[in-house]
Amino acid sequence: MNINQAVELVKEKLPKKRFDHSVRVAETAVKLAEIYDGDKSKAELAGILHDYSKYDDLGKMYQIVTKHELDSNLLSYGSEILHGPVCAVIMKEHYGVDDEEVLLAIKNHTTGRAHMTKTEKLVFIADYIEPGRQTPGVEEIRDLAYNQGSLDKTIYEISKRTVLYLINKDINVYDATIACLNYYNYSDERVKDD
Ligand code: DGI
Ligand code: FE
Ligand code: FE
């Protein structure tokens, strides 16, 4: 699927506000790819597609998890956690997206994970800092991403904020979210191999 086809697909499916968010995530991911020497085409494609399944029927999402043998823990969560993994399956199965980095970036855009590829990192961060986001403290994260030169540090700070937010609201934290937090913790002494 090329970028124009992806834009049309998402434009038809999503409400305007969500479509506009998707465009901004794609643009932001490309901007980050320029700064961090990433693959702009992959970042743009994953960015535009990442929320395609955001409003899909929850029952159908669970069916996809079971049929495609995705992590069974996903069955304990709602669409907030499911829309990424489900979207990656749909893009591969129905729309011929075969680039593994693009599929991973879509799959893990909400939670992150340990050992992310460059494209996953770009989309994960872009989703958090796109110019329409007004989350308290987002300016600090934008400064980290655009001016401080470290994708990994930016990821850690996003994960930390997300986990603190979830815990404060007594919302369960998915395994990959915790794995991401621990892996990108720069205070940890382990040397990262990627
Ligand atoms: O789809 P978007 O709204 O653009 O953004 P997103 O895919 O990053 O989803 C953000 C939501 O996901 C936000 O409400 C927090 C939630 N979330 C992130 N990590 C976890 C989580 N929810 C649960 N239950 N557990 C998590 O680990
Ligand atoms: Fe999302
Ligand atoms: Fe999003």
Q: What is the CA radius of gyration of the chain?
A: 16
Distance (angstroms) between ligand 1 centre and the Cα of 78 equals: 10
Say how far apart CA 160 and CA 154 lie, in whole Å: 10
- Enumerate residues 6+ apart whose C-beta is below 8 A from 71: 65, 85, 175
* Nearest CA residue ID for atom 4, ligand 1: 127
* Nearest CA residue ID for atom 24, ligand 1: 172
What is the mean pLDDT of the segment spanning 182-188?
90
Is the model more confident about 55 or about 187?
Answer: 55
Residue 148 burial by CB count (10 A; 0-12/13-18/19+): exposed, middle or buried? exposed
pLDDT tens-digit readout, 94-130: 999 999 999 999 999 999 999 999 999 999 999 999 9
When pLDDT is cut at 50, 70 and 90, the band that residue 187 belongs to is: confident
Ligand 1 atom, smallest distance to 54 CA: 1
Q: Domains (ranges, CATH) in the chain?
A: 3-135 (1.10.3210.10)
pLDDT tens-digit readout, 48-100: 999 999 999 999 999 999 999 999 999 999 999 999 999 999 999 999 999 99
